[in-house]
Structure 1
Amino acid sequence: MIEEESKEQKDIRMAGQPGGKLGQISVKTGQVHPSLMLKLKSHCVNGDSIKLDRRKIEEMDAVDAAAELRSQFVHVLSSRRSAQVPLEVKPAKPMKEPLYQGTPPPKSSEVMESCPKADIPNFKQLLNEENLYLTTEEGEQGHLPVLILSLKENTRSKRPAIVFLHSTNKCKEWIRPLLEAYASRGYVAVAIDSRYHGERAKTRTTYADALVSSWKNGDTMPFIFDTVWDLVKLADYLTARDDIDHSKIGITGESLGGMHAWFAAFLDTRYSVVVPIIGIQGFRWAVDNDKWQARVDSIKSVFEEAQVDLGKDVIDKEVVEKVWDRIAPGLAREFDSKYTVPFIAPRPLLILNGAEDPRCPMAGLDVTISKTCRAYEKANCADNFKVIAEAGIGHEMTSSMVKEASNWFDKYLKS
């Protein structure tokens, strides 16, 4: 059961509404509310990062502390935005040959094909497909490609929705098997292309190039944060649709998509059920314990560029810290998992990781899990939080994870 939200939580949920409080993102302007902006200036460091009084945050009650940290995260998201425009919906065409970055292109995924689906005769004929663009800000990357699958129904009943987020170098078409499976079971299944991926990419190196540009220029946040901005705008759109139950919008993703789901759910409580898959990790812990190599290797070009710029012979701890601070301010500090994940409470949260995942080491999540358990216990909903670390599994999504995610969503979105 999802607890009724407080006024403060509603203020955060209403991100996207003109005139909202607590640093809301306006559909019309995309800017932090002026009254909050004055408050945030005292926290600003070089226009990007925010120096938090951690003791102050910890002394607040859960609602106030969540609002404080969210408002500061909104400030960071707003610090590198293009000029804002009204949220618009534009028609798009299906992508027949989607762009996959990296080499070689991925093969079809048996893991996603394993997702439980309803046995419906003539399913393809009953499937409704929508392709559209949302305008989230000015500029090329401000056009958010969206793919939505659902069953054609004569009734006007509202249905639960789930947002699915792809991994690095993939695209929304890659996760179509999941969309079809959930659509067959009565969900409105939604996928997007994250920044510099899919339709938002021009070459097989677009994402890698964007990361390097972010390091060089500090004007964008292609690693996680810019897509989180898009996910707030997506929530604006989904909660305006008549066919969706606005209280039942889930979010999940694999790897990079799991990180997107984590931060979007932390920021925007309209995402009511959350399942990050191989995405939750402790960035600060990895730096402090010399366990950053696997994560760095996944986007190595930006770290190699930084190594040269910093006059280093090798990529070391200092290089890693400086890159994170530059391309995703606060990621390994005030917005790390041990501070942000607990504020997903009391909404149902299932964390799915591999027990041997070098990119998301479970040892780095001890504090995160402990603090999150306490948050759910204080909210009197301990059963709403669960962690599964699959034995013998590294950085990969498995059929077991797909099934666990499916069960979790059915439990909390179909009830």
Structure 2
Amino acid sequence: MSGLSRKEKNPLTVLSSCRSLYVNRETIWLTKIKMLIELTILSACIFPSGQAFDAQKLRSDFLQVLRSRRVCEVPLRVEFAKPVAKPLCQDSAQPSAEASLDSWPKSNSSNIEDSLKEEKLYLTTEAYASRGYVSIAIDSRYHGERAQSTTAYQDALISAWKTGKTMPFIYDTVRNFMLWQVWDLIKLADYLTHREDIDNARIGVTGISLGGMHAWFAAFADTRYAVVVPVIGVQGFLWAIDNDKWQARVDSIKPVFEVACDDLGKSAIDKEVVKKVWDRIAPGLASKFDSPYSIPAIAPRPLLILNGAEDPRCPLGGLKIPESNARNAYGEFHKPNNFKFIAQPGIAHQMTPYMTKEASEWFDRFFKAQFGI
């Protein structure tokens, strides 16, 4: 792990930026994940549908699922490493998210390198650091340095389907290892909150694509993440199945669905195969932990959801109920301005300069402006 932090205690906030390589059949996405904290729990409220909702119980149930396939807890340990000279890529394409990340608004700083302390936590987060944040980046398991081959992620997904022992998609609870994805982000929060140079009340989380899903579920699971910005990651998994809009998401990790199709004796992948795979590799993802329930559980912490209006992996129709439920939840806390959903017109599954600008301003608004900084 590696990161940049101020030599002196940061008076503003901690903005952790976690990085992983999201593999699909066409490209590699660099995901940037950032974090936040506020120890609040959403009490029971009523959705517009009339359904009662208890965020605390839902969160407890989710954490129980995370622990269900673990043999034992592994003590938190931090090991500093050397910078990566030749990072392992799981596709021949080059990371396409960097162009947008490079457009992230930076503060004018001529001596940024002198004002930063290198702790060798692999990162490309100078843009955030230049804006007064402490930034941290981690490799996700089966990605980057934590991958042993270019097919590590797909192999892990297939193994999860075959054995039911791990959950490498979003959740990930690998037996006898320190984990990544949601579990690793919870452990990272443990680490950050014990650092003297970090303001525990202001830790933010954001991510792109798979990283956006990580940010979403990490904030749902851990209330220490106080400001949340998932980018092109939030979607309705069950809605996509029910409305025959699952194809693009399935295509992004298709090998596991192809194996499941064969195992189930099907001639082609259909909605039944999709539902069974999700239930097997990520229990509850297409039911009780889906976006209509886990997204409002983030309230009242500031949440900005950024999607492309034409994104086939995160169909806009699948966000109508989660958005409605979230607005109701934030309304219950009298914090309607703490929630915002933007679907950029004409944009498919891609990070854009507009999204980076909106994310940057959202963090500054709740990390700086509210403190008169």
TM-score by length of 2: 0.82
Deviations 1:96-151 (A, max 9, x none): 211121222336722111001122113233332223xxxxxxxxxxxxxx44xxxx
- Which residue is 1:75 aligned to? 64
Q: Which has the higher contact order (CA 8 A, sep 6+)?
A: 2
Query: Is the 1:3–1:346 Cα contact (8 Å) retained in structure 2?
Result: no
- 1:252 maps to which residue? 206
1:87 to 64, 69, 76: 76
| Identical residues among aligned pairs (%) | 61
Cα-to-partner distance string for 1:28-78 (whole Å, 9 max, x where unaligned): xxxxxxxxxxxxxxxxxxxxxxxxxx9xx9446xxxx11111111011100
Map 1:221-370; keep pairs closer than 5 Å: 221-226=167-172, 227-370=181-324
* Alpha-carbon separation, structure 2, partners of 1:196 and 1:3: 27
Structure 1 unaligned spans of 5+:
11-53, 132-145, 148-172
Contact 1:284 1:336 in 2 (8 A): yes
| SS of equivalent to 1:120 | coil
| Superposed counterparts of 1:153-232, under 5 Å | 173=123, 176=124, 179-226=125-172, 227-232=181-186
Cα distance, 1:82–1:194 mapped onto 2, change above 3 Å:
farther
Does residue 114 (structure 1) correspond to residue 68 (structure 2)? The answer is no
| Partners of 1:356 and 1:392 within 8 A in 2 | yes
Alignment partner of 1:396 is 2:350: yes
Q: What secondary structure sits across from 2:283 in the alignment?
A: coil
Aligned length: 321
Supply the RMSD in Å over aligned alpha carbons: 2.0
Matched-pair contact (CA < 8 Å) for 1:100–1:106: no
| 1:90 match: secondary structure | coil
**Partner in structure 1 of residue 94 of structure 2:** 105
Q: Which residue of 2 aligns with 1:165?
A: none
Structure 2, gaps ≥5 residues long: 1-35, 173-180
Query: How far off is 1:94 after superposition?
Result: 1.4
**Separation in 1 of the partners of 2:229 and 2:159?**
31
* Aligned residue type for 1:130: E
Alignment correspondent of 2:118: 129
**Off by >4 Å, runs of 4+ in structure 1:** 2-6
- Select which of 358, 363, 367 maps to 1:409: 363
Structure 2 SS opposite 1:360: coil
| Structure 1 residues 213 and 188: CA distance shift in structure 2, 3 A | same
Q: 1:180 to 1:100 in 2, by over 3 A?
A: same
Could you tell me which amino acid in structure 2 is paired with residue 407 of structure 1? E
* Structure with the bigger percentage of helix: 1
Letter in 2 for 1:117: K
SS at match of 2:312: coil
Distance in 1 (alpha carbons) for counterparts of 2:95 and 2:334: 43
| DSSP 3-state at the match of 2:235 | coil
Alpha-carbon contact 2:308-2:348 (below 8 Å) kept: yes
Deviation of 1:9 after TM superposition, in Å, equals 7.0
> Relative to 1, partners in 2 of residues 1:308 and 1:4: Cα closer, same or farther, differing over 3 Å?
closer
Residue pair 1:9, 1:269 contacting (<8 A) in 2 also: no
| Aligned AA (2:170) | I
Q: Is the 8 A contact 2:37 2:202 kept in 1?
A: no
Q: Distance in 2 between matches of 1:230 and 1:197?
A: 13
Q: Distance in 2 between matches of 1:283 and 1:209?
A: 22
1:262-288 Cα offsets, whole Å, 9 max, x none, are 000011010000000000000000000
Distance 1:366 1:254 in 2: 21
Match of 2:5 in 1: none
TM-score between both structures, scaled by the size of structure 1:
0.74
Separation in 2 of the partners of 1:84 and 1:317?
36
- Report if aligned partners of 2:38, 2:224 keep a CA contact under 8 Å in 1: no
Instruction: State the distance in 1 between where 2:153 and 2:267 align.
Output: 25
Query: In 2, distance between residues paired with 1:195 and 1:125?
Result: 32
